[in-house]
Structure 1
Amino acid sequence: MQPSTNQNPSNPGGRLTDPVRNPEQAPAPVRTKRAFFLLLLTIFVPGGAQVVAGNRRIGRRALVVTLTCWTLLILTVAVYVFDRAILISLLARPSAQLTLAILLLLLAIGWVLLFINTIAIIRPTLLAPGARGILVGATVLALVCTAGALGYGSFMLNTGRDTIKNVFASGPEMEPADGRYNILVMGGDAGANREGLRPDTMMLFSVDAKTGKTAIISFPRNFQNAPFPAGSPLADVFPTGFDCGNECILNALYPVVEQSYADVYPEGSNAGAEAMMDAAEGITGVEVQGYVLVDMAGFETFIDAMGGVTVQSGGWVPFRGPQRDDMYVRTRWFEPGELKMDGAEALWFARSRYFTTDYHRIRRQQCLQQAMIKQFNPQTVLTRFGDIMSAGENLVETNIPQDQLGSFLNLADKARDSPMERLTLGAPDFGTSSDRFSTYPDFGLIEERVDEILLTASGDAPEPTPQEKPEPSEDSSDDGASGSDEDGGDGGTGGESSDAGDTAGSTEATDKQDDIAGWGSEAPTAQPDGSPITEDYLIYLEQTGQTGLLELIAGDNDECTT
């Protein structure tokens, strides 16, 4: 019988060798296939290369870790699909983030060591020079995509943990009041021409503690005569309310308390924010548990970190843009329709009151808030986590406890697909701007309407019926509406530039301008020659002094949807 021709001449015993564990005698193509097979095992089944070709003890331990990680990942995906509220609540806790960051870092280090060991098992010197170069490149790419990704994830989690600790308060979780969380959200900045911080945007978010359904109650910045609830330190300071006239508009309360009455609030608290919470509670009759103070410059950065925000605008919205060589005015215009805005554009959209009133911009702010909540979804957080966390630390100050962040994120997630009920304590929900409801508010009527909108938001009541507008007061001072002053009344990033509007709540708008800019007027939909309205046409109107027509055209720019 002839000896087998498959025997290797260098193997005199006639035993067949295993090319995976003993590649020296294998042909070059086999060694190349073996190298990339072991590399793929390390990528997809860490520890697999060691089991089949290296130290089996190390390989078995690595496989146990690998199988455990895959099991946990599958369970995490299942929890996310069936009840992601649990997952969000857990991952929002700084302690859980720290634990996960450490685990990811250890896994990244372990994976790097496995890759190094796999290269040692492969023995690149056995490969042809071309295959050796490809192997090195593939290994570097694999390291970046696997261990590198885990290391980056660990870094991002630690960054998020630091942000949460720096922004959110410590202490026990808040309890809902009558089944709702009521959080006052304020936006403002301390411009160079302003004495202290003035929150030009004030909104009370009332969120159902179970369903997340939300009502937004907006306070005009020029709201007057704000009362304070019993038990508030300011109830003794201002026993008849914040009612000294135009000097005591609502957004002036923050700096007044910070400068003169901070000692009536507990040491270490934000006295201005606490005072605003008390005022919001006194005005609405709703217990306010927390506040969020948003820096407007930080707001711009946050929108950019989210990748922009999209709204459907119902009208032409002016903003102060770069001056064109062929025009001497700097007013530019957002067109009606879908607007995909970056941070600077979103800030202008939210704050502009050129040719309109404070009430127009309040409604645009409500719309923008809803758009942000709708678009601030888990996918956005995951893909832009680092940018969002970096922006978040410069964005807000709040007394919301760290441990409550998870439950609030869950409520925000539930609220994304539900329409928000909106109420403005002034025009158009309480008459027109010329009725000056914000100057002479009816607090009984406000509490009645607030109760209605909260019931509607919870799904426990039909839509409220329209209310008759109040009779205009004989003693009427302006309600804070602003016309088209050249400074704009809004700073894109630098705050309001209208000193009168900031310090006394008065403006230069006339009653006639208020009526033109009111919601009952019809705006032209085309130029006189029948062609569509364009930005150039609107700039022409401003250059020729036709501000009344511009007010008509801009009069519906508060109509927007998400």
Structure 2
Amino acid sequence: MGAHSASGGGRRRSGVHREGPAPESSPRRGRHAAAAPVDPVAETPVAETPVAKAPLEAPVAESLAATVESLAADAVAEQNSLVDALLTEAPAVPAPVLDEVIDLPPRVSRRRKPVQTVARALRWTIAGALIPGLAHIAAGRRRVGLVMAGSFATLLVAVAFVLLAVPRTRLVELSVQPTELELMIALFSALGLIWVLVVLSSWSVHKPEQLRAGQRALATGVVAALSIGVAAPFAMGARTAYVQLDLLNTIFDNPTTTTQMAMPALPVKQQPQATPGFGPPTGFFANKPRVNVLLLGGDGGDNRIGVRTDTMILASIDTQTGRTVLTSLPRNMMKVQFPTGSEMARRFPNGFNDMLNAVYLYASNDKSVMPGAKYPGGELLKQTWAWTIGQPVDYFILVNLDGFRDIVDAFGGVTINVERRLPIGGSHDANGRVLEQPHNYLEPGRRKLNGYEALWYGRSRFDSDDYSRMNRQRCLLGAIARQASPMKVLTNFSELAGAAKRIILTDIPRQALPDLLELAGKAKSARVTSLTFVRSAAFDPANPNFAYIQEQVRLALDEAARTRYAQGSGPATTPATPATGTPTGTPTGTPAGTKTGTKTGTKTAVKGAAAPTPTPTPSSAATQLDKVCGY
């Protein structure tokens, strides 16, 4: 047994020695040699022989191949079934989203396109400010941009229609109607605000995502400047309308609350220069041949408007042609008379006991002479003039001469032909002794005068009489009327309105303003005739001949009316010359043997009444203002 055991043991060791190291030292055996089969009972490796290995490896390889082939067949079959399903049942299978099939970059919102630079954003903002909607269209907001652009185009068409199709008279009427002015204020304010919002919106749709501090400051400044620029015209329009509204409410009477006093009847011999029916057929001055406005210059200081009316000029304007006759009475005319039956006629039966320039002051201090009148001084002076010249006086305008300089300065000055050296300042006492020497002079020549110089041109009296001053004042008014272009009025409107509120007083009603402004436009380009009463054999201001005054006024107005008919304006039939109080010869009240005539800077003779001719030359002392003033 011992030998058997030893022999067995030797074989076992011999087997271990032979079989054991083989897996570690023989690389040709592969990975299967590393894990030899183990007998679970003896827990010793089982010897592998080439005879036993071949039957084990063949089934494993075949099994692996079959498995792979089966998996591949299953995958192909599944793919084929999916393709068949897509081809045969396509309407029932939802289409895949493009982003799931193709790897696209992130979408950019169509409502705002990315902008690379601040400069480009500002360029589009400026374009959007000039043409609203353009910036929004460029940013992809096409619908909003088209709405803006369409609204802008509609606004331009509306403005063009108003300027071209609406009559100028209607535009003038709108400018003096409080309700329309209030609407214009609201409209301009709304348009200015909307345009500012358009600028801000144009910048918003193009604003870059990232802005540095410098870029932000630049963009803020440019957008703010654009906003102010687009809002400025509308703000100016709203302000102009507001100033105009304030001017109307301050100066002109409201016809619903103020009643115009009736002009007393003139004597039978003092008939107007034309009969009703020769005026415009419609409007505020319908069937009225002329409108007579009394222009007054009050030579008073602050808070003393119209203390004494040293300047008095009646402007009689033809309602169809604008042909104007300016009539001046001297401020020192005495013994003026008043309408029969009036309180002033009862108090002064032999005529006023002071100069003509004190009539306004008298009624202003004693309102009982004109009961119920809003402006007693102006109303009494209107009636006094009407009774003196034999023509109705419709309205008065009083201008404080101390504030007159503000109006001239607001116009930018006035160009006047200064005929001789005129002193500025200086004064005399009642006996003619010099109390104060002039401190300056206006040199002769064609000069542009500022407000201060223009005031002294009209009022200088150191070495001038009242009649010379009257002539200069008419020339000054005529020059301002000629040179007051609509552009000057518009660009200086606020200053003019401010000065007007301080120095102007009038009884012209608001409802007359549209027609009166249209009439003023006609008068601007029409011929102006001047009639001035100066001391002469026929006229003595201390003891005036009223019949002579009335005759001269009628002749001047009749000459202007005949010129209108000769030019083809007005009725086809030329009216007869108005009655003068006597059929022929010397006018009533004119001393016999006296040549009827006056001087207005040049010697003018007045003939007696002559037979009508196609182009008559009236016997009037009136002269053209162009010749008197050298325009």
TM-score (norm 2): 0.64
Structure 2 residue 160 is matched with structure 1 residue 74? yes
Aligned-partner residue type, residue 380 of structure 1: K
Decide which of 469, 472, 485 is 1:361's aligned counterpart: 469
Equivalent of 1:46 in 132, 136, 145: 132
Structure 1: stretches of 5+ with no match in the other structure = 1-10, 322-327, 474-514, 521-557
What's the counterpart of residue 13 of structure 1? 104
3-state SS of the aligned residue for 2:525? coil
Matches within 5 A, 1:454-465: 454-458=557-561, 459-460=563-564
The 5 Å alignment of 1:116-515 reads 116-126=200-210, 134-171=218-255, 175=285, 178-191=288-301, 197-230=307-340, 232-242=342-352, 244=353, 248-260=354-366, 262-267=367-372, 269-320=374-425, 329-427=437-535, 431=536, 437-458=540-561, 459-460=563-564
The structure-2 alpha-carbon separation of the partners of 1:195 and 1:89, relative to structure 1 and needing over 3 Å to count, comes to: closer
Secondary structure of 1:32's counterpart equals helix
In structure 2, what residue type is equivalent to 1:185?
L
Partner Cα separation in structure 2 for residue 263 and residue 384 of structure 1: 41
Aligned to 1:88: 172
Residues 293, 12 of structure 1: CA spacing in aligned structure 2 closer, same or farther, 3 A cutoff? Answer: farther
Distance (whole Å) between structure 2 residues aligned to residue 193 and residue 519 of structure 1: 39
Q: 2:119 aligns with which of 32, 48, 51?
A: 32
- The Cα of 1:395 is off from its aligned counterpart by 1.9
Distance of aligned partners of 1:185 and 1:256 in 2 relative to their CA distance in 1, 3 Å threshold: same
**Distance in 2 separating the partners of 1:167 and 1:193:** 16
Distance 2:151 2:329 in 1: 55
Secondary structure in 1 matching 2:104: coil
TM superposition shift of 1:440: 2.0
Q: Distance between the aligned counterparts of 2:403 and 2:165, measured in 1?
A: 34
Quick one: distance in 2 between partners of 1:205 and 1:449? 15
CA–CA separation in structure 2 for the residues paired with 1:143 and 1:233: 64
How many corresponding residue pairs? 447
- Corresponding position of 1:22: 113
Seen in structure 2, the aligned counterparts of structure 1 residues 21 and 417 have a Cα distance that, compared at 3 Å, is same
Pair 1:273–1:34, CA change in 2 (3 A): same
Instruction: Say if 2:629 is the partner of 1:560.
Output: yes
Offset of 1:156 from its aligned partner?
2.2
Counterpart Cα distance in 2 of 1:91 and 1:183: 21
Q: Deviations over 1:148-205 (max 9, x none)?
A: 2212321221121111110011117964784111111111143499998111111111
Q: CA deviation at 1:85?
A: 2.8
Give, in angstroms, the shift of residue 345 of structure 1: 0.8
Partner Cα separation in structure 1 for residue 306 and residue 527 of structure 2: 36
| Aligned equivalents of 2:235, 2:304: Cα separation in 1 | 45
Q: Distance in 2 between matches of 1:386 and 1:307?
A: 13
For the residues of structure 2 that align with 1:19 and 1:122, how far apart are their CA atoms? Answer: 13
Contact 1:79 1:86 in 2 (8 A): no
Deviation sequence 1:348-399 (CA, Å, 0-9, x none): 0011122121000101110111111112221112111111111111120111
Deviation at 1:90, TM superposition (A): 1.9
Q: 1:85 to 1:315 in 2, by over 3 A?
A: farther
Code of the residue aligned with 1:367 in structure 2: it is C
2:274 corresponds in structure 1 to none
Looking at structure 1, the residues matched to 524 and 196 of structure 2 have their Cα atoms a distance apart, in angstroms, of: 41
1:230-274 deviation per Cα after TM superposition (whole angstroms, max 9, x unaligned): 4655344434432x3xxx2101111222223x1232435111111
Q: Which amino acid letter does the alignment assign opposite residue 275 of structure 1?
A: L
* Contact 2:321/2:526, CA 8 A, preserved across alignment: no
State the SS of the aligned residue for 1:182. strand
Q: Is the 8 A contact 2:306 2:399 kept in 1?
A: no
Q: Is the 8 A contact 1:421 1:456 kept in 2?
A: no
Residue 104 to residue 460, structure 1, CA distance change in 2 (3 Å):
closer
| Alignment correspondent of 1:102 | 186
* 2:330/2:466 contact within 8 Å kept: yes
CA distance in 2, matches of 1:266, 1:55: 71
Q: Is the 8 A contact 1:195 1:255 kept in 2?
A: no
The amino acid across from 1:299 in the alignment is F
- Distance in 2 (CA, whole Å) between partners of 1:336 and 1:227 is 40
1:397/1:518 CA distance change after superposition, 3 Å:
closer
CA distance in 1: counterparts of 2:306 and 2:419, whole angstroms: 35
Q: Indicate conservation of the 8 Å contact 1:36/1:135, yes or no.
A: no
Deviation, structure 1 residue 305: 1.1
* Alpha-carbon distance in 1 for matches of 2:386, 2:505: 20
Q: Give the ranges of 4+ consecutive aligned residues of structure 1 lying more than 6 Å apart after TM superposition.
A: 14-20, 127-131, 192-196, 470-473, 517-520
CA separation in 1, counterparts of 2:407 and 2:628?
24
Question: Is the 2:285–2:319 Cα contact (8 Å) retained in structure 1?
Answer: no
User: Does the residue aligned with 1:394 lie in a helix, a strand or coil?
Assistant: helix
| Overall identity of the aligned pairs, in % | 29
The answer as to whether partners of 2:192 and 2:235 remain within 8 angstroms in 1 is yes
**Following the alignment from structure 1 to structure 2, what is the Cα–Cα distance between the partners of residues 561 and 177?**
35
Partner of 1:554: none
Conservation of the 8 A alpha-carbon contact between 2:414 and 2:480: yes
8 A Cα contact 2:339 2:383, kept in partner: yes
Distance 1:472 1:351 in 2: 36
Given that residues 165 and 402 in structure 1 are in contact (C-alpha distance below 8 angstroms), is that contact kept between their aligned partners in structure 2? Answer: no
Structure with higher RCO (Cα < 8 A, 6+ apart): 1
Preserved contact between residue 305 and residue 400 of structure 2 (Cα < 8 Å): no
Q: Is the 8 A contact 2:133 2:147 kept in 1?
A: yes
Structure 2: segments with no counterpart, 5+ residues:
1-101, 257-282, 427-435, 567-576, 578-585, 594-598, 604-626
Give me the whole-angstrom Cα distance separating, in 2, the residues matched to 1:186 and 1:227: 19
Give the whole-Å Cα distance in 1 for the aligned partners of 2:284 and 2:534.
30
**Take 2:331 and 2:294, find their aligned partners in 1: how far apart are those partners?**
14
Displacement of 1:405: 2.0
1:461 deviates by 8.0
**1:461 & 1:124 partners in 2: Cα distance?**
74
